[in-house]
Structures are given as structure tokens and as C-alpha cells.
A and B are shown apart, each in its own frame.
Chain A
Amino acid sequence: MSRPSDLVQGTLDLLLLKILALEPLNGYAVSLRLRQVSGDVLQVSDGSLYPALHKLEQEGWITAEWKPTENNRRAKFYSLTELGRKQLEKESANWSRLSVAISNVVKLKEA
């Protein structure tokens, strides 16, 4: 599965879980939201977004449902499951630990 090279492995899952934790969204809306929240820093191609979403669905972390959109088109809406919420907590905790550790290293004063 192709991933944007500058995305740390596993962070895409974390981002998607977090976005869906806020509200159930369809795939297109997720891509919009991704761009919106991260500016252009995190580049996720549309082509790799869907496999990532499907993987989360197969893991049982998110669940999908076909619902009408505002403009009355049928779209697949993803929402977080109970398992997904736990996974999100776990991954956010991991991420915090990792980022603290890395920024500590980065902040080290050079001799």
C-alpha cells in the first residue's frame, strides 16, 4: 500500500481516527477535513486515503453506513466504533510520548 513518504508510519491511522472521532464523515469530506486541519503540511493523496479507510474498517475501528448527503446523494459515512475509540486513545498516547521524546532530543543544546 502506498503512503505519503513524509507521513510517519501509522500516523495516517491516528489522523483518520481523530477526524472521525469528531463527527461521522464520508470519504470526500475526510479528505477535505485533512487538508483543512493540517494545511498543506500533510499530503495524503486521495488514492491512498480509501485503502487506509478500508483497512480501519476491516480492523473494526470504524464502521461504515450508506446515508444521503446534504445535496441528497448517497455516500458512505464512516464513524468511530467503541474499539476505534480505544485504539485512538492508545495511538494518541503513543504519539504524545513519541513527540515529547523527539522534541526533547531536538531541543538539546549543541556544544
Chain B
Amino acid sequence: MRPKHWFYTLPLRLRSLLKRNQVEQDLSEELRYHLEQKTREYSTADLTLEEAHRKALREFGGVELSKENCRDSRRVNFLETLAQDIRFAFRLLPKSPGFAAIAILTLALGIGASTAVFSLVEGILLKPLPYPNPDRIVLPELVSPPGVNLGSEYFPWAQIQFRLLTRESHPFEFVGAFQNDSFNLTGSGEPSFLDGFRASTEFFPAIGVVPALGRAFTAEEDQPGHEYEVILSDRLWRERFSSRGDILGRAVYLNGYAYTVVGVMAPGFEFPRAEEMPSSFNFPSEPQLWVPLAVAAQPKGGPSELAVIGRLKPGVSLEQAQAAMDLVTKRAEERDPQWKGWFNTRLVPLTRQVAGDTQRPFGLMLGAVGIVLLIACSNVANLVLARSLGRNREFTLRAALGASRSRLVRQLLTESLLIAIAAGAFGTLVAHVGIDFVKAYGPSNIPRLREVRLDPLVFAFALCVSLATGILFGLAPAFGATRKDLASSLKEGGRSSAGTPVSQVALALVLVVSAGLLTRTFFRLLGANGGFNPLRVLTFQLPLPASKYVDQNHIVVFYQSALSRLRSIPGVESAGIGETVPMGGEGESTVIRMPDHPVGSQKEMPFANYTIISPGYLSSIGTPVLRGRDFLESDIADSTPVALVNVAMEKKYWPSQGALGKQVGPGSSRYPLMTIVGVVPDVKHISLREETIPEIFVIYTQKQWPSMLNMRVAVRTKVDPASMTESVRAAIHSGDPDLPLAKIATLTTLVNDSLSQPRFAMLLLAAFSLLALLLASIGMYGVISYAVAQRLQEIGIRMALGAERRNVFGMVLGQGARLAGLGIAIGLLVALGVTRLMSSFLYGIESTDPFTFAAVSLLLLATALLACYLPARRATRVDPMVALRHE
């Protein structure tokens, strides 16, 4: 409104509100003056003073009415009524503490849980990435040729392919390639092992970021021989170099080479994190530094290890970009037939990649929290309804005293809103605790989980939910209760409340069944056979700097002496090295060749995991050799090349004759064939639920390909493996004091970490189903109590006519059991449909697992009967005389 208007009216409003008595006095005096004048006017004629006064009053026509109309004109009546309602509610609610407490608690739990989940979803899925125009950033992925199973839908780029792409006319403003690498930082304190990336010049421009200090790489630096520059993460700069301002231009030693620091990234920049990238890349979870990738102008062949990131040119849509990429593919295939089928690309927006797989558990969470909120709200609605029915007499009295219907509705609404606001405040607390819980116990591979916090938007959401609930469930009974025909509203209330426990039991059953299935899955996983024995095994990563370990001879000699030192430690049972350890990440995989399985076309090329190990590795991780023999120290470079294969490989290629004595080798004929001397069980690499694929083990002394600079060590001990860490470290350092031991963990820890996601899903659903069970039993208790109260008279008559206490008890319990039974039946049907959707979360059991369904039904029935126990007991205590006199 206009300010001038407020200039006149605001003081009046404030005066009406704050100096209410003064204003009232003024009003009375004004009217009294009027009446006095009027009386005097009339009394001049032939009337007595008294008669004149009466005439004046008559003519005025109702002083009190006039006053009330004057008050109405003050425009603050609304606030006054509200204050009155709130005062009244505050007096009234503590008089039924049970109602208030249960209503507030129920709503708070529902609101808190949904707010926590909403915060997580908002923070992880909806919040835009912290890069400029993140929707323009895409990851071009190479897609496997149709019909070829590489164990994953996409595979990394080769350097030569990236070069081809940059030379073609591509749809990107900037396009960069990157690959992870590990760096041994020496020269400043204790040697440490850091995860980092080799990135091409346009990597940073494609993301749209520049270093907070210094600059990104130039094109000159991104060339072989010039790549000795490094950009540090903010964390590395702070922790290792104490945030020194003169860091730029200084040299740091990585893998034995001097690198010049040219930049420091802003805090929080850790792109790309493992959880944001396709899992097949096996990226580190927190990169600490970036160095130039330096792809040669004419790269030779070599392993495919690159990921590519691009920023779309302005105005180019994703579809147009995909079309442009398809053109690149076509030209590459035309120029060189070797790319036929191996250069298909797919553009994946970064935003989708980041959310990726983690979306599914959140779908589960949203569904679960939705059910809990539904049960909570229906509980509160029921409570408010039952309560307002109990207050009929009060409403009738107030209506008789002249309260308008809208006035009654407003009062009920105020009460509901008060409850909702209290629940909102309390629910925010619940949400805080919930988020902290998820942060503490949630799986570590959820991107951006650490950044999630309760933000103002989410607080607004909580407030909206609580207010909407208050209004909705305040209004419905309010209209019902103030209906003219109170008797009919009473009947209607009684009818509608029977449906509530049925649906609550049904909803709770769906949730508990889901939780039950996840729990069974978890225990199946715990008992799953991963092909290894995790007890008493210490594992760590041992990256060797390429500057010092220049050829295979150096490496083999070092490993041989290191292994013999490890084995001579008292308490060590066996020790071995391998490219991977179980649950430690994916290994190498490659195209293989087998003389007895000639390849028809390129599409049918056989594929297998290709894992370099040492003698003692298999016994260290507890994998037995099923047939044939393990590698021996006598299998050396000059002796016959030998290999081991897993059961999956044997089953696939030599199901009847067995694999022993057969020949196998890497795809390229440059490498010799190896004779299979042993068969081992399928060892799982990433998770206990994975499908194993064929795997070939080769011995490190005979290795021809690829690099062995970054191996894992497994040490089986006779005592607690964690207690051996220092002696193991000493044994390694007595060979080379500059070597860092990275990712030190027991095998049991690795297994536990791999189970964190299913464990989290199980715990979460278990918590929600507990909540749902609790709320549903509160609902059941409320409805049965109410029914008992309604039937007091009937029960009294029955008992007067000779009904036994246990008959009455059984009758009440029977009513509860009927409702629960109906709810369970409906719930089972719904659960059959719903659990099918979560089959991807399950392992080792069907989504219709009859045991789970039966157990949960019994649990629900027991809970419902327990909830009916108290009201049933109360029913048996009814004194027939009192009950008959009741009403």
C-alpha cells in the first residue's frame, strides 16, 4: 500500500493493538458525549431528563452493537481473535497431554524423516554441480560393439583415438582427456602416495574452472618431454605445504622427477572423484594433484586408459553433438578399418553421470519415507478426528452461545496449526539427527554426501509440510464437527476410522517386507562365497616410481627380495603380490586368444580378466587351487610360460575336457601362448554380488604385459593382521626407504567396505519400518480404544447378561485381528507388486521370498494384537452398572 496511507493509518492500528483499553475508553466517552448532547436536546421540550435519555438511547439504536461495529472498523480484530484462539489452545492442549504429545511426536517423526530424505535428495541429486553451466559438460564414452561383452557397456579411450577426435571437427568448445595415476611425493618430509590425474590442456577449460592460484596447463606443457608441471589441490597445498604463498614456481618431486608447481585449485575442487565417474574406470576417490597428460602427436598403440570430458559449443544441443560424434566415428572407420565397431561413442551429460547409480537407493528412501509420512499423517488425522468428536458437547455449547461456524473452524484450525508448528520445530531436530546419521553411516561412495546439510530451502519444505498437514487435518474434522447435524458427523467419524488401521497395517507391511528382504540379502551376502578367505590378511598397495624401476628386471628382483623379507617376519604365514586384491577394485581385462577356439569375426573376440600374481598370492588370500598346481618359484622367465584360470573360464571354453594343459594368451600374437597348469575358484573383485567373468592368472616373473609398477601385496598372518603393519612396513623399507605403503587395510575391512551400500540400505529400511510399525500400532491402539469407549454400554449389557471377561477380551481382540488381517491381506498384494521393483537390490533370494512374507505377516499380526491388548484389558474391567448408566 501507499506509504502516505500508512503514515495516517499505522499509528491508529498500533494504538488499537497496544493501547486497547485507552481506545475502548475513548469510544465509550465519545458515545456518552453524543447521548448527553442528545438528551439535553430533547429535555428542552416537555420531557423529563430520564425520558429524554431513554429517547436518545432508543434513537441511537443499540450502543453495544454500534461499539462492536466501530471495533470491526479497526481492522485488528483478526489478530485479536487469533491471539485469543492461541491462548485458548495453550490452555486446552496441556489438558490432554497424551493427545498433544502423540500428535506432535508422530508428525515430528514423519516430517523429520521426510525432511532428512529431501535434504539428501536435494543435496545429491538436484543441486547443480559447482561448475559454470554444468549442463553443457558431457562425457563422451566409447561403447562396446554390439554383441561384444567387455564386462561393461563402455570402455576407455586409447591415446590414438583421442588424437583422432581432436583433429576431427567435433561438437566441443573444449575437449580434454584424463587418466588417473598415482604419485610418490618425496623430498618434503615422509614420502607419501598421492592419487592424481594426468589431464590434457583442455581438461580444466572443459569443466570451466581455473586454478585459484596460478594457472592451468598450456598447450606447450601438454607435450611429451615438457609435462613436468603440477597443479595441487587446495588440501594438498594446505596440509603438505602449509598454504605457503610462494608455492608457485617451486619444484616438488613426484615419482623421482622434479615437477614445477604452476597452480593450486580452489577448495573443494576434486574432479573427477571416483563416485562421479563410471565405476569401470576405478578412479581414486579424492585426487590431490593434476599433471599434463602429454599425448604424443602420433601416439603409438597402447592400453586404453583415457576418459574424455567435453564442453559443448554454445547453441549445440546434445542430439546435435551426438550426431557430430557419429560423423567422427564414420570418418575414422572410413580412414582405418581397424576402428570398425570400436569407435562408437555415446555422450553422457555430466549431471546424469554424477547422479548415476546412486539414484536408486534414493528412490528406495523416498518410497519408504513416503509411506512413513502417510501413516503419520493418517494417524494424526485420526487423532484429531476422534478428539473433535469427543468435544461435540463443547462445540454445541459454544454454538448455542452464538459462536459462528467459521469462528469454531478457526479455533480448531489454530489448534492444529499449533501442533503442526511444534511438530515442525521438533521435526527439524529429527531431520538434523537423521542427516548426521546418514553422513556417519552411509556408504562412502555417494557423491557429495559430505556437502549435504539442512539448508533454508529444506527448512521451508519442512514448514510447508507441517503447515499443510495442520491445515488439512485441522480443516476436515473441523468441518465435520461443526456440521449442523452433529449426530451424523458422529456416525461418519466412526465409520471412516475403521479404514485407517487397515491401510496403515497394509502400508507398514509393505515397508517391513522390503526391509526383511534387504536384511535377508545382507546376510546372504555375508555368507556369500567370494572365492577367498578374508581372515587374518593384511593388504596394501606398493607403487614403484618408474624413474627408479626402469625395466622388468629391476621390478622382479625387487619383488623377489621384498617377498622373501616379508615371509621371514615372525607371524607371517605367507605373502604374495597381485595386481588386485579381492574387494580392492577391478583389475585389467583384455582380449585373449586360444588356439583351440579360433576367432571367427572381430565381434566374437573372447575377453577375460588378466591378473598378474606371484607364488604365495593365492594362499595369502585363501584361494585354493582346485585342480593342477599353483605357481612355483621355479616358474621363471626362461621356463615354459604357465597360467592359471578360474572356474568360469574353464566352464565357458572347456566344459567337458577341463582346462588343464590347454593354451591361452593375450590377444596379440606378439606375446607367447601359456599352458594352463591349474584351475582356481572364481574370485570376486568389487562386490560379493558380482557375476564373475573368465579370468587368467599369470606369474609376475613371466609377465610380458602390462606394467607392474603398481601392485598390491597380500600378507596372511598367524596373529591379528593390523598388529603386523609396522613390521611389514619395516620389511619393505629395508629394501627401499622411499617407497610409500598405500591403502593399508585388512581383507576383512575391504569386505566390510564393499558391503556398506547393502548394509546402509538395510539399516535405513529397517529404521523406517520400525517407525512405520510403531506408528501403525499407535493408530491401531487409538482406533480400538475409541471403539471400546463407544461400545462401553454394549459391553456393560453383555457382561450384565453373563458374558465372561475372557469373552469380552476375545471380542475386542477379535475386532483388532479382523482389521489387521484385512490390512495384512491387502498389504501382501501390494508388497508382491512393490518388491518386484527392488529386485536389483536383492541377492540370493526372490523378491517374493515366502519365508519373509510369512514372517512379516505374523509380526504385523502380533504387533496389532499387542496394540489391542490395553483397550481389551480395559474392556474387561468395565463395571456393568457404570456402563449402563453411562449416557
- Residues of A that sit less than 8 Å from B by CB: 1-2, 26-28, 31, 45-48, 50-51, 54-55, 57-60, 63, 66, 73-76, 81-83
Contact = CB atoms under 8 A, between A and B. Distances in A.
A50 B806 CA distance: 72
Q: Counting chain B CB atoms within 10 Å of each CB, which of A46, A57, A63, A81 scores highest? A: A46
Given A46-B60, A47-B66, A76-B26, A28 B38 contact: yes
Given A54-B74, A83-B5, A47 B65 contact: yes
20 contacts: A28-B34, A28-B38, A31-B34, A45-B60, A47-B60, A47-B62, A48-B61, A48-B66, A50-B30, A50-B34, A50-B66, A51-B69, A54-B70, A58-B75, A59-B9, A60-B7, A73-B33, A76-B26, A76-B33, A83-B5
Contacts of B73: 1, 51, 54-55, 57-58
B707 interface: no
B37 A28 contact: yes
A31 B8 CA distance: 25
A40 B754 CA distance: 96
A51 B66 contact: yes
B268 to A, nearest CB: 54
B34 A46 contact: yes
A83 B4 contact: yes
Contacts, number: 78
A48 B9 contact: no
A6 B116 CA distance: 63
Contact of B70 (A50, A59, A74, A81): A50
- What's the dominant secondary structure at chain B's contact region? helix
Q: Counting chain A CB atoms within 10 Å of each CB, which of B26, B33, B75 scores highest? A: B33
Contacts of B30: 27, 50, 75-76
B61 A28 contact: no
Contacts of B31: 50
Nearest to A46: B60
Given A45-B60, A54-B74, A76-B30, A1 B38 contact: no
Contacts of B9: 58-60
B29 A74 contact: yes
A9 to B, nearest CB: 16
Interface in B48-78: 59-63, 65-66, 69-70, 72-75
B60 A60 contact: no
B12 interface: yes
A96 to B, nearest CB: 25
A2 B63 CA distance: 13
Contacts of A76: 26, 29-30, 33
Contact of A27 (B5, B13, B33, B75): B33
Q: Which 3 A-B pairs have the closest CB atoms?
A: A60-B8, A51-B69, A47-B61
B5 A60 contact: yes
Contacts of B29: 74, 76
Given A50-B69, A58-B12, 19 more contacts: A2-B69, A28-B38, A45-B61, A46-B66, A47-B60, A48-B61, A50-B34, A51-B70, A54-B73, A54-B74, A55-B73, A58-B73, A60-B7, A60-B8, A74-B29, A76-B26, A76-B30, A76-B33, A83-B4
Interface in B14-53: 26, 29-31, 33-34, 36-38
Interface in B203-222: none
B72 A27 contact: no
B75 A46 contact: no
B71 to A, nearest CB: 9
A82 B7 CA distance: 11
A57 B66 CA distance: 16
Nearest to B8: A60
